[in-house]
Amino acid sequence: MSTAPAAGPAAATLIHTDAQGLAQGEFRLPVQGGTIAAYYAAPEGGKDLPVVLVLQEIFGIHEHIQDICRRVAKAGYLAVAANLYERQGDASTYTDIPKLISELVSKVSDEQVLSDLDASLAWAGRNGGDTKRVGVTGFCWGGRLTWMYAAHNPAVKAAVAWYGKLTTGHGPLIKTMAVDIADKVHGPVLGLYAGEDASIPLDSVEEMKKRLAASNNAASRACEIVVYPGVGHGFLADYRPMYNKQAAEDGWKRMLAWFGKYL
C-alpha cells in the first residue's frame, strides 16, 4: 500500500466537462427483463475503443457521473454508465442519505448489478467498443462493485475503485464482501482510499492489502492501494463539500495511468 502526499482542506469546486469532440448522450440499455437508463460518452467517430464502465455513487447517474464519463471519453475511451438501481426507485428524489440507503440502495443485489454491467459491456461492444480492452471504475457504492465486477467478468483487464467498502456492503442482500474476492480478480485493481474515511476503516484497507499480497493470482498481486492521509470519503465528488482538489487530481492521474498501462 502506498501513501500519497497529504492533501489540503476540502472545498467544493464544480467541474464541468464539455462535449466538444465527443459523441455522448442518454439511452435505454437493454437488460434482463427490459431496459434501464444509461449514459455514454466516446471520442466522436471512434472505433474499436477501449471500454470503461463507470459505476455510480449511491446518487445514481446524475450530472457528476455523466461528467466523469465525458472526462474518461476525452482520454480516449468509450465510457458507459448505467442506472444500476432504476428498478428499485429514483435516487434523485432523495435528499436524506440514510433514507436513500434503507429504502433503495439496500434492496439492490450484487447479482442484479453484475448482470446489468455485463449488459453494459455487451452494448459497448455493439457501439464502437473493443471488448478485449475493458476497464471499470466506480465510486463509493460503485467502488465496492468495481472490485466485485473485476472478479466476476474475465473480460476486465483493469479496474480503479474509489473509496469502495471492503469488509461490508449496503444492506442485508450483500453476502460476499470485496475482501472475499481478493484472490479472484481477473485484472489488476487500483484502490484509491481516504485516510480519514469514517465509513471505511484503515484496518479494512490493511486486510485487503494482506489478502491481495498472499494470493496465488497474478492479477491480485498486481493490485495497488493508495491512501490519502488527512482526506475524507468522496474526495473526487467536486459537487460536494467533501471534494479535495489535490487528492482528486492525483487519483485521476493515477487512474488514467493505470488504464493506459493495462488497456
b/e per residue 174-212 (b: at least 16 CB within 10 A): beebbbebbbebbbbbbbbbbbebeebeeebbebbbebb
**Distance from the Cα of residue 262 to its chain's centroid:** 16
Ranges 91-95, 207-211, 244-248, 255-259: which has the least confidence: 91-95
Report whether pLDDT(214) > 80: yes
Name the average pLDDT for the chain: 94
Report whether pLDDT(201) > 90: yes
Model confidence at 8, pLDDT cuts 50, 70, 90, reads: very low
Percent of the chain with pLDDT over 90: 93
Single pTM value for the model? 0.94
Contact by Cβ (8 Å): 117, 153: yes
Q: What residues are labeled active site?
A: 140, 197, 233
Report whether pLDDT(216) > 50: yes
Average pLDDT over residues 218-231: 98
Contact by Cβ (8 Å): 144, 166: yes
Average pLDDT over residues 163-171: 95
User: What is the Cα–Cα distance from 161 to 233, expressed in whole angstroms?
Assistant: 13
User: What is the Cα–Cα distance from 121 to 140, expressed in whole angstroms?
Assistant: 21
Q: What is the pLDDT of residue 30?
A: 98
Ramachandran assignment for 162, one of left (phi > 0), alpha (psi -120 to 50 degrees), beta (any other): beta
Q: What is the pLDDT of residue 73?
A: 98
Average pLDDT over residues 156-164: 98
Q: What is the pLDDT of residue 106?
A: 96
**Distance from the Cα of residue 75 to its chain's centroid:** 16
Identify which of 126, 37, 23, 104 has the alpha carbon closest to the alpha carbon of residue 70.
Answer: 23
Q: What's the pLDDT tens digit per position in 78-132?
A: 999 999 999 999 998 998 999 999 999 999 999 999 999 999 999 999 999 999 9
Query: Is the CATH number 3.40.50.1820 carried by domain 2-262?
Result: yes
Model confidence at 13, pLDDT cuts 50, 70, 90, reads: confident
User: What is the Cα–Cα distance from 52 to 44, expressed in whole angstroms?
Assistant: 16
Average pLDDT over residues 38-46: 97
Residue ranges per structural domain of the chain: 2-262
Q: What is the pLDDT of residue 12?
A: 53
Chain position carrying cell 479472484: 184
Report whether pLDDT(32) > 50: yes
Report whether pLDDT(226) > 90: yes
**Distance from the Cα of residue 238 to its chain's centroid:** 16
Model confidence at 1, pLDDT cuts 50, 70, 90, reads: very low
User: What is the Cα–Cα distance from 167 to 204, expressed in whole angstroms?
Assistant: 6
Q: What is the DSSP string of the chain?
A: -EEPPP-------------TTEEEEEEEEEETTEEEEEEEEEETT--SEEEEEEE-BTTBS-HHHHHHHHHHHHTT-EEEEE-TTGGG--GGG---HHHHHHHTGGG--HHHHHHHHHHHHHHHHHTTEEEEEEEEEEETHHHHHHHHHHHH-TTEEEEEEES--SS--SSTT----GGGGTT--SS-EEEEEETT-TTS-HHHHHHHHHHHHH-S-HHHHT-EEEEETT--TTTT-TTSTT--HHHHHHHHHHHHHHHHHH-
Give 172's contacts (C-beta < 8 A, 6+ positions apart): 106
